[in-house]
Amino acid sequence: MKTYSAKPKEVVKKWYIVDASGCVLGRLASFVATRLRGKHKPVYTPHMDTGDHIIVINADKVALTGRKWDQKVYYRHSGYVGGLKSTTAGQLLQKRPDSMVVYAVRGMLPKNRLGRKMLKKLKVYAGPDHPHEAQRPEQLQL
């Protein structure tokens, strides 16, 4: 028996919507990353993008456990000497609440061209509204 390998034309990509209100960030990110990679499908192939499109709404209502709002720090560097900037999770939630979910999911995807391609299928919005009604997304429960 031969090992099955999915072809790009055979893969059916659906649109799903996930409500992040009250969900713990890490659990939400692992659920979304699994769906983006396509590991929930029987046709999963590691070197192919077999995942679905995911829309995350209410990203500003995501939860963190413990004292992570003050202790979890996000870093970025400008490329210049002494250009290290840091932001706590609480500050990032006020400025850009959608980027917390993107950072968490990005860390759970492969660090290569395929992972960057998968991340483009993730759409995150701070509020309950999104512009993807034409794709008719189905509701997903965690």
- Residue 135's pLDDT band (cuts 50, 70, 90): very high
Q: If you average pLDDT over residues 130-138, what whole number do you get?
A: 97
Comparing CA positions, the residue from 43, 47, 46 lying closest to residue 13 is: 43
Domains and CATH numbers, the chain: 15-64+97-140 (3.90.1180.10)
| Pair type for strands 53-57 and 122-124 | parallel
Angle at the Cα of 71 from the Cα atoms of 70 and 75, rounded to 5 degrees:
105
- Contact (Cβ atoms closer than 8 angstroms) between residue 25 and residue 104: yes
Q: Give the angle 114-61-33 at the CA atoms, nearest 5°.
A: 20
Specify the pLDDT at position 92. 96
Distance between CA atoms of residues 127 and 26, nearest Å:
19
pLDDT at 4: 87
DSSP letter for 137, please: P
Per the prediction, the chain carries an average pLDDT of 96
Residue 74 pLDDT > 90, yes or no?
A: yes
Max Cα-Cα span within the chain: 58
* Phi, psi (deg, nearest 5) at residue 15: -110, 130
The stretch 87-106 carries a mean pLDDT of: 96
Per-residue confidence (pLDDT) for residue 142, from 0 to 100: 86
Please check whether residue 29 is in contact with residue 105, taking contact to mean a CB–CB distance below 8 angstroms: yes
**What tokens appear for 107 in the block?**
């860390």
Nearest partner of 50 among 82, 105, 10, 88, judged by Cα: 10
